[in-house]
Structure 1
């Protein structure tokens, strides 16, 4: 059976053969077609630890086709499975591998170039990757465009997907109640459309938001349904997510042994299918479980794994979690130099004054323990100044001001 890449190759070669008899391209345009063909024919990935090398030939060919505005072939190349045995399309695989910038380039290149159905995929994809990259407002904008377009063209499944993704964006912005309503709409429309995979995604999102709202029984019910649907449709990605989310709820209920096993299963599946974001989040969840057990050493190992992956794929949430937890754990183990390094980074990841004040207190303690008195005094003075800028007569404002003055007096 001729695979998809071979069909595109045949199309491109036929175009050049036709060009010989009826020239219509400039020399520079012909060169772009030749380059695309060469990348598809001659590129053979060497043994590499980078997933991106497996599809470099297709990506380079895509860029050359875009250079001559051959949007049809460019679209066919990346909106297709990477091999005959896979159902995951190349642009989707880039997301699972964590190559968000490369995926962004594909979507922005194809947006408004093919048809409105392709635009729906591009808008949803752009929204999802911006959410992971920490730009929830931009994600919201793309998903709102996607929802409006889906309603215009009457694509019920795309509408369901857009509703769910809007819920994700609002959750990132700190509005779980609004997310809950959107996830419920997603579930209803996915059921009407008869898309079981989409039903599973909606159930998983509902379970996640119920966990955040501390309705643990409903969270467990939704996630268990998510797991059943994922197994039914053979969705390993969804199965791994369900294990991780269920483990997070069990951990909050104090069912730590069960939570530990579930997070380990989530990591194993993420590694099996190459889901870098899933692996990153599962390591973070496993670190929290070890932390709850009081096993600080294993927790640190997990958060270091989280941080390494999160930095590689630019996952903002993963980086924030890992840096904050590593700072706390290193401080608890009297590893003050490491604690200072992580907590200084953490100050750039927090915006609320309560968390900032707590970090400044911890940093001051670490500096003091290392004998770096001037640095500690400077931090405590900043803490007092920050407390003076907070809302007057709140518990936090009084506490930070008193603690700052106390620490300064103790070091006088």
Structure 2
């Protein structure tokens, strides 16, 4: 909180999940020639592209995210249509309903497509109920029906994902898991994981945790050790996102020996990296650096460039927070070069942000802002909402140092809105603290107090290393406000 410039380091790893929802705006004025260009570039029909714009308008996605979101929808659209070609049903009516649903999707009639798929699913369910009455002689047919029902649910889930309806997608994935025949435990774990991933995206951590724990129980039952380690890692990241570092560390320390036992080098590297990030968050920098150095040796041995880049960045962050800016910049620039070599946009965005932090610490504000703007452009492109908020906080600090408090407050308020939207406690504490301190600096203590109070409340939940300092600031403000 306060004057600490947030440095992203490497992202926390979770085995599944990738995107987030945009902010809300009005509709778009797309000229015909640009519309035609999108049709050509995306390889879709005019009617399909029109329906994509309707999705974006309904979800109020901002115009600056337009190109990336159109590509994302087009990818999911084509993937969904390919599923209809690859997956068939023995029931002509179910097949007909799915053919109609495919046509409805091509026509942009997504609600109708969902209803047709629902009819297909319900018809399969009805057949399942009938077949159960004579299970002994019809077990093979029953299993086919159950798989078909599950496939219908997955198709509905993917349809919802395409429209950014992550909570609904999670419901359909859970239906798919429930519909599977008893013996299909690996598929059940996958569907539970996909449901958890969608809930994690929208910060429904308690529900996501329940699903990951269900998957973990099945993995232990069937002896799926690699998947077990992955689930332990995923559970740790939920606790980490909530600031419960002790619990997060406990699960990572369970995951690491499993990866070592089965020789999963990538899993070892991820666990070492994630353990280091928890010690970093708690302010134990020597221990964090020890784990990072182990991770870096491993990534180099197995030539895992993405892991190498993230670990180099995390090492840079350790030196950065300790004030060795020259060493930090060296590691960040190495990480940036790796990310560009392998076209890792997520990593490139993070490392640009981290380089800007070094320039900020050296009072090179223009260079810092330039790198942040490059980082923000990539975050918009890939839909990285969590780190977008952190970058806004950083930009706000630069404007504040340059004396433009109005621009700084605007950046902080945008960052706070994003943090609340996605349930990022650390981001909310950071933005709340910065807004409170800015008001305090301007002498508006009554405005500052609720923001500092909220930051302290969140930091208490997270075992935050700056909690003591934040409490002292809050106490000083309240003392001045006393009549």
Give the secondary structure class of the aligned counterpart of 2:418. helix
Distance 2:235 2:162 in 1: 31
Determine the structure 1 residue equivalent to 2:473: 358
Distance 1:56 1:212, change over 3 A: same
Q: Deviations over 1:134-188 (max 9, x none)?
A: 1111111111111111111121221111111110111122201110111111010
Determine the structure 2 residue equivalent to 1:64: 178
CA shift for structure 1 position 104:
3.2
- State the structure with bigger RCO (CA 8 A, min sep 6), 1 or 2: 2
CA shift for structure 1 position 289:
1.7
Matched, 1:171 2:286: no
Distance 2:181 2:406 in 1: 51
CA shift for structure 1 position 247:
1.0
Q: Is the 2:202–2:423 contact (alpha carbons within 8 Å) kept by the matching residues of 1?
A: no
Q: Is the 1:58–1:77 contact (alpha carbons within 8 Å) kept by the matching residues of 2?
A: no
Moved more, 271-280 or 98-107: 98-107
CA shift for structure 1 position 341:
2.1
Distance 2:471 2:212 in 1: 37
Distance 1:346 1:93, change over 3 A: closer
CA shift for structure 1 position 23:
3.8
Distance 1:146 1:46, change over 3 A: closer
Task: Map residues 175-190 of structure 1 onto 2, 5 A cutoff.
Answer: 175-190=284-299
Instruction: Pick from 388, 392, 398 the counterpart of residue 279 of structure 1.
Output: 388
Distance 1:168 1:67 in 2: 40
Distance 1:266 1:67, change over 3 A: farther
Q: Is the 1:97–1:277 contact (alpha carbons within 8 Å) kept by the matching residues of 2?
A: no
Q: Is the 2:336–2:352 contact (alpha carbons within 8 Å) kept by the matching residues of 1?
A: yes
Determine the structure 1 residue equivalent to 2:35: none
Q: Is the 1:246–1:262 contact (alpha carbons within 8 Å) kept by the matching residues of 2?
A: yes
Distance 1:61 1:176, change over 3 A: same
TM-score normalised to structure 2 length: 0.64
Task: Map residues 4-403 of structure 1 onto 2, 5 A cutoff.
Answer: 22-24=137-139, 36-42=150-156, 44-45=159-160, 50=164, 52=166, 55-56=169-170, 59-65=173-179, 70-77=184-191, 100-101=205-206, 103-114=208-219, 115-350=224-459, 352-365=467-480, 367=481, 376=482
Q: Is the 2:174–2:192 contact (alpha carbons within 8 Å) kept by the matching residues of 1?
A: no
Q: What's the Cα RMSD here?
A: 3.7
CA shift for structure 1 position 128:
2.2
Distance 1:78 1:226, change over 3 A: farther
CA shift for structure 1 position 18:
9.1
Distance 2:79 2:446 in 1: 59
| Contiguous gaps of at least 5 residues in structure 2 | 1-77, 91-120, 461-466
Distance 1:344 1:169, change over 3 A: closer
| Contiguous gaps of at least 5 residues in structure 1 | 80-88, 368-375, 378-412
Q: Is the 1:307–1:318 contact (alpha carbons within 8 Å) kept by the matching residues of 2?
A: yes
CA shift for structure 1 position 272:
1.5
Distance 2:218 2:156 in 1: 28
Distance 1:287 1:339 in 2: 16
Distance 1:312 1:254 in 2: 32
Q: What count of residue pairs does the alignment treat as equivalent?
A: 356
CA shift for structure 1 position 198:
0.9
CA shift for structure 1 position 260:
0.9
TM-score normalised to structure 1 length: 0.74
Distance 2:83 2:192 in 1: 10
Q: Deviations over 1:206-260 (max 9, x none)?
A: 1111111111111111111111111111111111111111111111111111111
CA shift for structure 1 position 357:
2.3
Distance 1:53 1:128 in 2: 19
Distance 1:301 1:2 in 2: 39
